[in-house]
Structure 1
Amino acid sequence: MRMRTAATVLSGALVLSALVLPGGAQAAEHPGAATDLRALASQSVQPKDALGGTTFKNGVVNKGKDIVLGVTGKKAVPVTFTAFDEEGLALTMAFLWQGTDSSSTDTITGALGTDDNPVCTETTVEGGYSYSCKTVFTIDPAVDFKDGNGIAGPWKLFLGAYDLYANASADDDVAKASIKRAAKLTVNASPEPVKKGKTITVTGKLTRADWSTGRTTGYATQPVKLQFRKKGSSAWTTLKTIKTSRTGALSTTTKAGSDGDYRFVFAGTFTTGSATAPGDFVDVR
């Protein structure tokens, strides 16, 4: 009799007991690695080779958005994908990895904090069975990222599955994701109030998460836009672009023209998320 639920129809321990990690790798030493990370093929098989005939597509990590993390607080990262197999699946597996070799112990991260296999809904289609799958990776930077900030950057989604005959299939690049350090901007415009035509000094600071220390630190030599919004308007105008100091500090001047708000805007980088300071209102008299 066929079994219907991909994530629960067969015990992972039963299916995987005779199999080992590709390339002889063991559970990842990378921060946040799932403790039960298992192989999806034999030692002689690399990801994308199919012992089984399962195919994967439509992988989406965090709804297609960057995974931006501060130094504290857990973040739930949803993952969805679809799978197809002519014979039907016993279970599916998913994890994020970073680097050049998904079977390397220093690049595999497992499911970043969760030991649960994806939950899949089976649908009978022409030629076999289609599965709509989902899971959630729970990331705690204070625990998972203690080894440093090198974790920030591009990641790939590895998906694997076992069919009902314990044949393994894997694809190590179904989708891409970016894990970034959270950034924060402050702003202060003075004096307040100010006479029209006089100089306004706008100061602030750009900081970002430092996972290795569990603190926030200044982000040096980064371009930041100074913007102004006239009172009663919803549109922001960029006045100039300046760079942060070695400590992440910002300081610039502008002429007072009319009542309105000033703010700093940081676009973000390859490893760091964007940030926008709340507007600081200046009364011009």
Structure 2
Amino acid sequence: MRIRASVAVVSGALALSALAVPAAQADGSRGDIKITKVVVDGDNKVQLGIHDPVTIKVSVTARDDSGIKGTGGPFQLLGADHGIASSSRPRCAKVSATTSTCTASVKIDPKMYPRDYYLTNKSAGAWYVNAWVEANDHDYIWGEKAGFFSFQRKARLSVNAAPEPVKKGRTITVTGALTRADWEALKYGGYGARSVKLQFRKAGGKSYTTLRTVKADAEGKLKTTAKATADGYYRFSYAGDSTTGAVNSAADFIDVK
């Protein structure tokens, strides 16, 4: 049974309890202040595995004719299945006389709490940012769902091309496996029925060419063949999806005689 206990929110920590918001939240905004941009971790994508914590950078840009005074508290990051994160206290820097960018961070560690109080696999997907920003003339805005980002389960991808060395024109077999982080079990598990690209880079070349698309079996295992034409590197590449991050395998070199 999943425990829905109320947990105190610590700055920078993820929890499943409700976060306090400014008392004027219901008013939405006052005056001409506007949130013009929200960026999470540079590209609005965050991947989390099962071992290492990640520190997420959140930037909120706002504009008001009088200039920006600051924020009313930490930013809120919210997602599916009661996923909630609270940032550190934002610091604002002027972009111009009317515009400032306020930046904060939140550290998420998959091992910090017992899993019933922390992440579930259903938490992966679209998350959004709430932000309270104040202007110098006492205008304010409660930016509910001011910005969105993808919070994804980290994926792993392996590859092995054989035999090696191989005669030119012969067939090689390329195997591998696609797995992704299971935040509840704190391990990586097979990610089945996904389409993965087999790619090749000729020795001395700078870019990979896609040879074919391979579909993983129910356990995430991959197997396909290719014709050995020249010395080079083989890898698998997964483009990612709404809940799982993109990943490339390491390259496996084949010596063609």
Aligned to 1:38: 20
Distance 1:169 1:83 in 2: 9
**Whole-Å separation in 2 of the counterparts to 1:117 and 1:34:** 20
Match of 2:164 in 1: 192
The answer to whether structure 1 residue 73 and structure 2 residue 52 are counterparts is: yes
| Equivalent residue number for residue 284 of structure 1 | 256
Question: How far apart, in 2, do the equivalents of 1:34 and 1:89 lie?
Answer: 30
**Matching residue of 1:136:** 105
After superposition, the CA RMSD in angstroms is 3.1
Larger mean Cα displacement after TM superposition, 191-200 or 179-188: 191-200
- The within-5 A match list for 1:239-254 is 239-254=211-226
Task: Give aligned-pair identity as a percent.
Answer: 36
Question: Residues of 1 paired with 2:76 and 2:165: CA distance?
Answer: 55
For the pair 1:96 / 2:65, whether they are aligned, the reply is no
Report the Cα offset of residue 34 of structure 1. 8.6
Match of 1:211 in 2: 183
Q: Aligned to 1:170, which of 138, 142, 145?
A: 142
Matched residue, 1:10: none
Structure with greater Cα Rg = 1
> For 1:142-157, what aligned pairs fall within 5 Å after superposition?
142-143=111-112, 146-157=118-129
Higher strand share: 2
Aligned-partner SS, 2:205 = coil
Residue in structure 1 matched with residue 3 of structure 2 by the alignment: none
Range with greater deviation from structure 2 (166-175 or 204-213): 166-175
Say whether the 8 Å CA contact 1:92–1:118 is kept in structure 2: no
Q: Which runs of 5+ in 2 are unaligned?
A: 1-6
> Is the 1:183–1:206 contact (alpha carbons within 8 Å) kept by the matching residues of 2?
yes
**1:182-216 residue CA offsets vs partner (Å, 9 max, x unmatched):** 11111111111112222211111111111011000
**What's the CA shift for 1:252?**
1.0
Provide the C-alpha distance between the structure 2 equivalents of 1:89 and 1:36, rounded to a whole number of angstroms: 26
- Distance in 2, matches of 1:153 and 1:96, equals 13
Paired with 1:255 and 1:122, the residues of 2 have a C-alpha distance of 58
Q: 1:62 to 1:117 in 2, by over 3 A?
A: same
Give, in whole Å, the separation in 2 of the partners of 1:279 and 1:124: 47
Query: 2: CA distance between counterparts of 1:158 and 1:261?
Result: 45
CA distance in 1, matches of 2:67, 2:230: 71
TM-score by length of 1: 0.74
Kept in 2: contact 1:52–1:162 (CA 8 A): no
Unpaired runs of at least 5, structure 1: 1-25, 100-105
Structure-1 residue corresponding to 2:84: 109
What secondary structure, in the 3-state scheme, does the structure 2 residue paired with 1:150 have? helix
Aligned amino acid, residue 56 of structure 2: V
Match of 2:151 in 1: 179
TM-score normalised by length of structure 2: 0.82
For residue 122 of structure 1, report the CA deviation from its aligned partner: 5.8
1:269 equivalent in structure 2: 241
